[in-house]
């Protein structure tokens, strides 16, 4: 039975590529993915697979009820894009939407899940349990799409949830995950400084917002180095500085923004407190005013040990060319974390590195090895079937 499903997935590879390339040409930003959601819904309608649309926003959830008894397992793919102007101008399937690009592989996630659904639907009478195919919008921007989708209760009946991310940091043919912490919590901060501007030749009459901002940036580097237990993991990154309008004018205002990555709530709170203390102290010393805001984003992705173990042990059975390895956690963030707070499950990376194409996720020249979509679809199927075997027998 299962061999027929895997072979069917393989026969649909070219269709997955066609789907991925179509979606790549017409990307949509988070919370705006109406046409993409319609495309997904139309695909399920054409196949005759039952589905719900507009779940928690633009979400689409399809359900394949197997002909044999078993558990209900959800498989998730996201489908939003990023505000990036694509620079892969040589690609015939480059983005047609100005300033918007699938620069993280979500087009591939959607294509592989649709391909898997079509393959399984053909053999649904032989399928154990129920497969729930979750197409989630808005992963890229907090508060994200996972939380409102879950709040609808659409997955309350699910026993477990799995997901994978095409990962260009990892070699093609390799599956990576971890038992426990796998991806970091991702927060954002903003610091606004109000000083006193003036002539560039008369700095003594000003409160230079750029100098103050520079002191803050330098001092923030000490938070992780000197205030966080060295056996813990954290990142504080200042991503933007906006200040000044002319070379000979001392700026009266400056704005900083950035991200904090942590795994543990106590580390997160220590960093938040220290950042504000540093900002307050430097601004008070300079006689400037400030506004500090700290926005808690996605929680860390904490895989459940049994489910992650299942991925590591069973994924290679999907394809003889595959290998798995347990890795250290990534400091990248993912709203798949919300699923794992409610249900047992695991998230894993599917290696999709293109040879001699060293452009990371979120880069305007990002691309991935499309063959990895087949690995993504087949490992999701393998994990689904292995879970049924382990917990339904």
Establish whether 106 is an annotated binding residue.
yes
> Are 163 and 347 within 8 A, CB to CB?
yes
Write down the catalytic residue from 33, 80, 86, 367: 80
Cα dihedral: 46, 47, 52, 56 (round 10): -80
Answer yes or no: 107 catalytic: no
Q: Do residues 232 and 267 touch, judged by C-beta distance below 8 A? A: yes
DSSP string, 318-380: G-TT-EEEE-PPBS---TTHHHHHHS-EEEEEEE-PPTT----TT-TT----TTHHHHHHHHH
Residue 4 clears pLDDT 70, i.e. is over it: yes
Where are any strands of DSSP class E within the chain?
51-55, 59-65, 68-78, 128-136, 160-167, 174-177, 181-183, 185-194, 198-199, 234-243, 249-250, 253-262, 289-298, 301-302, 323-326, 345-351
Its pTM stands at: 0.95
- For 241-297, the pLDDT digits (tens) are 999 999 999 999 999 999 999 999 999 999 999 999 999 999 999 999 999 999 999
- What backbone torsions phi and psi does residue 169 show, to the nearest 5 degrees? -80, -10
* Rounded to 5°, angle at Cα 17 from 14 and 21: 145
Q: Look up the CATH architecture of domain 2-183+300-392.
A: 3-Layer(aba) Sandwich (3.40)
Residues 6+ apart with CB under 8 A from 1: 123, 126
Q: Residue 249 is encoded by which pair of tokens?
A: 């004018």
Predicted confidence at residue 393, as pLDDT, reads 64
Taking residues 160-179, report their average pLDDT. Answer: 98
Alpha-carbon gap, residue 275 to 294, rounded angstroms:
9
At 20, the pLDDT band (50, 70, 90 cuts) reads very high
Q: What is the pLDDT of residues 142-159, one digit of tens each?
A: 999 999 999 999 999 999
Please check if 291 is assigned to a binding site: no
3-state secondary structure of 232: coil
pLDDT of 165 higher than 70 = yes
CA 84: distance to chain centroid? 16
165 is in an annotated binding site: yes
Spot the catalytic one: 28, 107, 139, 307: 139
Q: What is the pLDDT of residues 198-237, one digit of tens each?
A: 999 999 999 999 999 999 999 999 999 999 999 999 999 9
How high is the pLDDT of residue 96? Answer: 98
Mean per-residue pLDDT, 177-184: 98
As given in the structure block, the two tokens for residue 63 are 């359900």
Domains 2-183+300-392 and 185-298 share a fold: no
If you ran DSSP here, which 8-state letter would residue 300 be given? P
Q: Is 90 annotated as a binding residue?
A: no
Beta-carbon contacts of 281 under 8 Å, excluding residues fewer than 6 positions away, are none
Domain 185-298 CATH assignment equals 3.30.950.10 = no
* Annotation says 139 is catalytic: yes
**Structure tokens that stand for 194 in this block:** 């109000």
What per-residue confidence (pLDDT) applies to 35?
Answer: 98
Q: Determine the Cα–Cα distance for residues 228 and 268; give it in Å rounded to an integer.
A: 10
pLDDT in tens, 122-132: 999 999 999 99
Q: Would you say 337 and 185 are in contact if contact means Cβ atoms under 8 Å apart?
A: yes
**Is 109 marked as a binding-site residue?**
no
pLDDT of 1? 52
The rounded distance, in Å, linking the Cα atoms of 294 and 273 is: 10
Residues 43-75 have pLDDT tens digits of 999 999 999 999 999 999 999 999 999 999 999
- pLDDT tens-place string over residues 320-375: 999 999 999 999 999 999 999 999 999 999 999 999 898 999 999 999 999 999 99
The residues spanned by each domain of the chain are 2-183+300-392, 185-298
Specify the pLDDT at position 127: 97
Per DSSP bridges, beta strands 323-326 and 174-177 are parallel
Q: Is the pLDDT of residue 2 over 90?
A: no
Phi first, then psi: give them for residue 246, nearest 5 degrees. -155, 155
């Amino acid at each position: 039975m299962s061999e027929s499903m895997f072979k069917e997935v393989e026969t649909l590879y070219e269709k997955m590529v066609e789907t991925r390339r179509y979606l790549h040409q017409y990307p949509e930003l988070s919370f705006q993915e109406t046409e993409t959601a319609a495309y997904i819904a139309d695909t399920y309608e054409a196949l005759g697979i039952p589905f719900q649309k507009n779940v928690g926003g633009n979400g689409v959830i399809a359900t394949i009820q197997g002909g044999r008894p078993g558990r209900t397992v959800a498989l998730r793919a996201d489908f939003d894009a990023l505000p990036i102007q694509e620079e892969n101008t040589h690609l015939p399937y480059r983005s047609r939407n100005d300033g918007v690009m699938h620069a993280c592989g979500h087009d591939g996630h959607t294509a592989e899940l649709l391909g898997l659904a079509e393959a399984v639907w053909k053999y649904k009478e032989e399928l154990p349990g129920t497969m729930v195919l979750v197409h989630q919008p808005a992963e890229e921007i907090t508060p994200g799409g996972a939380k409102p989708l879950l709040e609808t209760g659409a997955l309350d009946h699910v026993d477990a949830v799995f997901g994978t991310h095409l990962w260009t940091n990892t070699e093609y043919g390799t599956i990576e995950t971890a038992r426990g912490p796998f991806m970091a919590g991702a927060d954002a901060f903003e610091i606004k400084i109000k000083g006193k501007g003036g002539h560039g030749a008369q700095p003594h009459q000003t409160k230079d917002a750029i100098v103050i901002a520079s002191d803050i940036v330098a001092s923030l580097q000490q938070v992780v180095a000197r205030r966080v237990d060295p056996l813990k993991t954290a990142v504080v990154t200042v991503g933007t500085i906006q200040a000044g309008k002319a070379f000979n004018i001392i700026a009266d205002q400056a704005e900083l923004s950035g991200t904090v990555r942590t795994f543990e709530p106590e580390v997160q709170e220590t960093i938040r407190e220290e950042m504000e203390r540093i900002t307050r102290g430097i601004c008070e010393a300079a006689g400037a005013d400030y506004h500090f805001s700290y926005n808690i984003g996605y929680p860390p992705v904490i895989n459940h040990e049994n489910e992650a173990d299942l991925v590591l042990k069973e994924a290679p059975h999907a394809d003889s060319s595959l290998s798995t390895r347990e890795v250290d956690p990534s400091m990248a963030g993912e709203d798949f974390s919300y699923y794992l707070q409610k249900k047992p499950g695991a998230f894993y990376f599917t290696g999709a590195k293109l040879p001699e194409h060293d452009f990371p996720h979120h880069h305007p020249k990002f691309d991935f090895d499309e063959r990895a979509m087949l690995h993504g679809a087949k490992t999701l199927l393998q994990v689904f079937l292995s879970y049924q075997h382990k917990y339904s027998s």
